[in-house]
Amino acid sequence: MNVFLDTEFTEFTEFRDSHLISLGMASEYGEDFYAEVPYPDHACSAFVREVVIPLLRKIPNSYFTKDNLHLEIIKWLEIVRRNKEDVYICVDYQTDWDLFCDALDHRVPSWCHFKLVDNEIVELMLYDFFKHSGLPEHHALYDAQANRHAYRPRQKI
């Protein structure tokens, strides 16, 4: 089972300098998860302040402390996974996976696996998603949903 993950974070630099702001997951079956967490405001880049921050606090019941985020993510993943199948966390950027692991306090379940899909996301399909949905880019949940929509796995030869 594929779960598409996207995150928003304070600074587009090395992972160790980035702090999670929000995390969105979209399962291939249609279920979604979204969380926002406290973040150090002083660490936000100008881009984050201008584009990402205004999109926050729009989805009810999505604000979590970092302490309970781990439990909420695991609980959601256990609910959406079918018949104890393995879950592939699909990301288009390595930092998304790094921040996911950090949110889980580096206790990623053995049935969760990393899957880099940046070369299998069709840009035209991303454009189509945002054009027809009217949703803004640079929101973790909407970007995860867009990646789910635009994912086209490469055929193995």
Q: What is the pLDDT of residues 45-87, one digit of tens each?
A: 999 999 999 999 999 999 999 889 999 999 999 999 999 999 9
Write down the pLDDT at residue 45: 93
Question: Is 2-150 a domain of CATH 3.90.180.10?
Answer: no
Q: How confident is the model at residue 129 (pLDDT cuts 50, 70, 90)?
A: very high
pTM above 0.85, yes or no: yes
Task: Calculate what percentage of the chain has a pLDDT beyond 90.
Answer: 91
3-class DSSP string for the chain: CEEEEEEEECCCCCHHHCCEEEEEEEECCCCEEEEECCCCHHHCCHHHHHHHHHHCCCCCCCECCHHHHHHHHHHHHHHHCCCCCCEEEEECCHHHHHHHHHHCCCCCCCCEEEEECHHHECHHHHHHHHHHHCCCCCCHHHHHHHHHHHECCCCCC
Tell me the average pLDDT of the chain.
95
Domain-by-domain residue ranges, the chain?
A: 2-150
Mean pLDDT calculated for residue range 118-137: 97
